[in-house]
Amino acid sequence: MSGSLPKPPLHPKRIVFFGTPEDAVPVLRELNISGIDIALVVTRPERRRGRRELPTVSAVAKAAAELELKVSTEIEDALTVGADCGVVVAYGRLIPKAVLEQLPMINLHFSILPRWRGAAPVERAIIAGDLQTGICVMGLEEGLDTGPIYRVNETRIGEKETAASLRKRLSELGSKELIAAFKLGLVNPTPQSGQISYAEKIQRLDLELKWMASAEDLNRIIRVGGAWTKFRGHVLKIHEAQVESESDLKQGVVRGDSVGTATYNLKYLVVQPEGKSPLAAKDWLNGARLAAEEMFGE
């Protein structure tokens, strides 16, 4: 760790929790149950998800309110509550150096570092076809996920596991490791070693299904969530699919609930037409009335 930054205490007693999405909620709840004094919860400000929707508070803010914990959206407030350590779990912002210099912090990261440093480690691991992932309890530095490792726990990625289900598992696994680190002591951190890779934030174009790719690659994108294609000029999301053993369709050509790819056909199981709710493929097909040689991606 940088010499200018303080090290976390051996056994943190009073903490500030930094987190935002649903993935961080199980960790917050488990820390609260464990008896750790959570002096403050810092989360991202309210977000408006649609032009007509009212602003919504983060999942962590809702959980903190249920637990009767004090909540703030200002990072600097972490310095005002007498905490001896900060705990960061999917917060969504870098912690400024001025805060790190006054409040030592540890981070629960959802990958085996230094693989997949950054914003979307779970999604990038699935898209890349990784067989293993895990969690790291690490010291927080100025750099992006560069800190030393206190605890690590690996787990296999299920062949059909989605990003949502994997994040849930990692959150539960990470909660146990974080509490163990507090009880056994934050001692002898290990510097990261190995090949570095970066998990850039998932953009909409990353989720576009391009039918010249393999069925296996396309299904991994679908498992991440939010995958989409075009059909008759409109967006069609595909929420669930499976790789078939046949490969008799041209790339992008749709026949019933199957579509051609560069390798095998891909059977889509759950879809969501633009502006509508998800539904089973067989129900969508009843209304779509496919013509011969129709294609996805157009």
3-state secondary structure of 229: strand
3-state secondary structure of 138: strand
Q: Could you tell me which CATH class the domain 14-199 is placed in? A: alpha beta
CATH of 204-288, one of 3.90.1150.10, 3.40.50.300, 3.30.2350.10, 3.10.25.10: 3.10.25.10
What global pTM score does this model have?
A: 0.93
Q: What pLDDT was estimated at residue 273?
A: 97
Tokens of residue 93, six digits? 């912002």
Q: Where do the structural domains in the chain lie, given as residue ranges? A: 14-199, 204-288
| Residue 19 pLDDT > 60 | yes
Tokens of residue 294, six digits? 């129709």
Please check whether residue 171 is in contact with residue 131, taking contact to mean a CB–CB distance below 8 angstroms. no
Q: How far is CA 13 from the centre of its chain?
A: 28
Maximum distance among all Cα pairs of the chain, rounded to whole angstroms: 69
Amino acid at 143: G
Task: Please confirm whether the linkage preceding 278 is cis (ω < 30° from 0).
Answer: no
Query: pLDDT digits over 190-216, tens only?
Result: 999 999 999 999 999 999 999 999 999
List all residues 6 or more positions away from 168 whose beta carbon is below 8 Å from its beta carbon. 23, 26
| Residue 176 pLDDT > 70 | yes
| Residue 2 pLDDT > 50 | no
Please check whether residue 107 is in contact with residue 85, taking contact to mean a CB–CB distance below 8 angstroms. no
| Residue 51 pLDDT > 90 | no
Q: How far is CA 162 from the centre of its chain?
A: 11
- Dist CA 106 CA 100 (whole Å): 10
